[in-house]
Amino acid sequence: MAFWNVGPVAVLILTVIIISFGYKCLHWMIAAWGELKRIMHIRRTLPGPKPHWLFGNVLQEPGPLTPGFEWHRNMAKNYPRLHVFWVAWKPLVIPTHPDTVRNICNDKVGTVKSPLYGLFEEWLGNPMATSDGDLWKRHRRLITNTFHFNALKNYIPKINKVADTLISVISQRSEKEESLELHKTTSAFASDVILQCAFSFESDCQERESEYAKAVATLTDVVTKRTMNPLLLYEFFFRRSSIYKVWREKINILHTLQEKLISARREQHQNTGCTEFKKGMDFLDTLLLASDARGGLTDKEMRDEINSFIFGGVDTTSSALTWLIYLLATHPEYQTMVQEEVDELFKDREIPEIRSEDLHGTPFLVKCIKESQRMYSFVSPGRLLTEPLVVDGLTVPAGTEIVIYTYQLHHNPDVWGDDHMSFKPSRFDRENVEGRDPFAFLPFSAGARNCIAQQFALQEIQIAAIRIFDKFDFSLVRDSTPVFRVVSAPQDEILLGIHPRNKN
In a domain, 1, yes or no: no
Task: Report the percentage of the chain scoring pLDDT > 90.
Answer: 59
HSE (CB half, 13 Å, CA atoms) of 3? 1
* Helices (H), ranges, 54-131: 66-78, 98-105, 121-124
In this structure, are strands 382-385 and 401-403 parallel, antiparallel, or unpaired? antiparallel
Rounded average pLDDT over 84-102: 93
pLDDT greater than 50 at residue 459: yes
pLDDT band at residue 183 under the 50/70/90 scheme: very high
Q: What total number of domains does the chain contain?
A: 1
Assess whether pLDDT exceeds 90 at residue 182: yes
Tell me what the mean pLDDT of segment 71-92 comes to. Answer: 93
pLDDT at residue 68 greater than cutoff 80: no
Residue 443 lies in a domain: yes
Lowest mean pLDDT among 216-230, 247-261, 358-372, 487-501: 216-230
| Mean pLDDT calculated for residue range 153-179 | 95
Answer yes or no: is 40 within a domain: no
Q: 353-378 pLDDT, tens per residue?
A: 899 999 999 999 999 999 999 999 87
Q: What is the CATH number of the domain that holds 97?
A: 1.10.630.10
Domain containing 277 equals 46-500
Q: What is the pTM of this model?
A: 0.91
Name, of 14-23, 270-279, 325-334, 389-398, the range with top average pLDDT: 325-334
pLDDT higher than 60, residue 437? yes
pLDDT at 1: 45
| Region of residue 382 (left: phi > 0; alpha: psi -120 to 50; beta: else) | beta
Q: Could you read off the pLDDT of 197-233 as tens digits, one per residue?
A: 988 988 889 998 888 888 988 998 898 888 778 788 8
Q: Which residues on neighbouring strands pair with residue 482, listed in sequence order?
A: 490
Kindly tell me if the per-residue pLDDT of 343 is higher than 60.
yes
Q: What digits encode the pLDDT tens for the residues 95-123?
A: 999 999 998 888 778 788 888 888 889 99
Quote the pLDDT of residue 65: 58
Query: Is there a domain that residue 4 lies in?
Result: no
What does the DSSP assignment read for 412-449? Answer: -HHHH-TTTTS--GGGGSHHHHHTS-GGG--BTB-GGG
503 or 4: whose pLDDT is higher? Answer: 503
Do 188 and 203 meet the contact criterion of CB atoms below 8 Å apart? no
Q: Among 53-67, 278-292, 332-346, 417-431, where is mean pLDDT lowest?
A: 53-67
| pLDDT for res 59 | 83
3-class secondary-structure state, position 113: strand
481: Cα within 13 Å, side-chain hemisphere:
8
Residue 437 near residue 292, CB atoms below 8 Å: no
- Between residues 416 and 12, the one the model is more confident about: 416
- If one compares 15 and 200, the residue with the highest pLDDT of the two is 200
126 three-state secondary structure: coil
Q: How confident is the model at residue 64 (pLDDT cuts 50, 70, 90)?
A: low
Residue 81 pLDDT level (bands cut at 50, 70, 90): very high
**Cα Rg of the chain (Å, integer):** 26
pLDDT band at 259 (very low <50, low <70, confident <90, very high): very high
434 assigned to some structural domain: yes
Evaluate whether residue 220 is within a structural domain.
yes
- From 354, 301, 350, select the one nearest 155 (Cα to Cα): 354
Which whole number is the average pLDDT over 452-461? 93
